[in-house]
């Protein structure tokens, strides 16, 4: 009897080991997977919903899939509303403040098509810091805004990019640059294609994008099989989705003339949308059990 049990134990644990090994391949991109907080679950549920509003009962059910009780969920909802992140109305909560702005940025990053970019005439936009002295918080705020606007720092205090995007995009972020910089529009540059790719770390972005694509495709395929630990599956898909969105938001959005032929941005976006559909479907099925 003992000899019959050993193969069964191997069959039970082998798939889990294989899944762990597969997921470990991109641990540097998603970080250490920790128990999810009530705030992160609730915010993401609303950020990913078809409409940025859900009933309290729906939010409680979603949080329960990650081991978060109804009391903790209600307390977190009240705190988020007090902080201006949510607004409540007739038994439901909707995104507000910076979270609604974040939803807009996520939607743009995940659903953008290359046709959104304007025709590029070969010119560049440049923003140069004018202030001689700046507080550390101001420098950090400018760096975050410039990166979110897909600018690259060619040297200390000089930010640039090809002029293929709307110069007035994301007014709130543009205002940060306007306070600290002077702008030059339509500048000509003799930077080479290789130089531009290096400036925007094209090779690194492409490499990590392809790793995320593979990880998401593996997870989508694995979701079709029976899963013993639903919480672990949903948690991993949750953090993998966040990693994909974070990477999409770092897409430099360069004109096609500066990109390699196998640029994976479009594939990353479409694969992310497929993973998000898979994740939402798995949550619905888990709630129906």
Q: Check residue 81 and give its pLDDT.
A: 92
Between residues 259 and 233, the one the model is more confident about: 259
Q: How far apart are CA 45 and CA 125, in angstroms?
A: 37
| Rounded CA separation 112/278 (Å) | 20
Coarse DSSP helix, strand, coil percentages of the chain, rounded to the nearest 5 percent: 60, 10, 30
Q: What is the pLDDT of residue 36?
A: 78
Query: Does residue 260 or residue 104 have the better pLDDT?
Result: 260
- Number of alpha carbons in the 13 Å side-chain half-sphere of residue 44: 23
CA-wise closest residue to 180 among 226, 219, 141, 223: 141
* Stretch 59-86: mean pLDDT: 91
Sheet with 92-95, strands from edge to edge, namely 53-55, 92-95, 86-89
* pLDDT computed for residue 9 by the predictor: 42
CA distances from 175 to 146, 163, 216 (A): 11, 18, 36
pLDDT at residue number 209: 97
Question: In sequence order, what are the beta bridge partners of 124?
Answer: 162, 187
CA 127 to CA 153: how far, in whole Å?
A: 9
Query: What's the predicted TM-score (pTM) here?
Result: 0.81
Residue 231's alpha-carbon distances to 63, 70, 103, 216, in angstroms, are 11, 17, 25, 17
pLDDT at 219 over 80: yes
pLDDT in tens, 136-183: 999 999 999 999 999 999 999 999 999 999 888 889 899 999 999 999
Concatenated DSSP letters for 103-150?
HHHHHHHHH--GGGSPPP-S-EEEEEE--S---HHHHHHHHHHHHHTT
Give me the domains of the chain, ranges plus CATH numbers.
Answer: 123-187 (3.30.70)
């Amino acid at each position: 009897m003992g000899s019959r049990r050993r193969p069964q134990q191997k069959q039970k644990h082998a798939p889990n080991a294989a899944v762990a090994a597969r997921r470990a391949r991109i641990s540097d991109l998603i970080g250490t997977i920790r128990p999810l907080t009530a705030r992160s679950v609730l915010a993401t549920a609303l950020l990913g919903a078809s409409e940025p509003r859900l009933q309290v009962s729906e939010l409680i059910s979603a949080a329960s899939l990650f081991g978060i009780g109804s009391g903790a969920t209600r307390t977190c909802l009240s705190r988020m509303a007090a902080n201006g992140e949510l607004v409540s109305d007739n038994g439901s909560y909707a995104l507000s403040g910076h979270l609604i702005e974040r939803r807009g940025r996520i939607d743009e990053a995940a659903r953008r098509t290359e046709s959104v970019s304007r025709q590029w005439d070969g010119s560049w936009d440049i923003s140069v810091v004018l202030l001689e002295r700046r507080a550390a918080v101001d420098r950090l705020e400018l760096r975050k805004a410039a990166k979110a606007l897909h600018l690259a720092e060619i040297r200390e205090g000089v930010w640039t990019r090809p002029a293929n995007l709307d110069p007035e995009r994301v007014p709130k972020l543009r205002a940060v640059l306007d306070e600290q910089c002077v702008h030059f529009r339509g500048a000509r540059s003799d930077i080479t294609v290789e130089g531009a790719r290096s400036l925007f770390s094209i090779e690194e972005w492409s490499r990590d994008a392809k790793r995320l694509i593979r990880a998401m495709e593996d997870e989508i395929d694995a979701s079709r099989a029976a899963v013993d630990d639903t919480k672990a599956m949903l948690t991993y898909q949750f953090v993998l989705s966040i990693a994909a969105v974070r990477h999409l938001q770092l897409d430099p959005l360069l004109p096609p003339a500066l990109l390699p032929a196998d640029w994976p941005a479009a594939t990353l976006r479409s694969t992310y949308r497929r993973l998000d559909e898979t994740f939402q479907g798995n949550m619905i099925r888990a709630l129906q059990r």
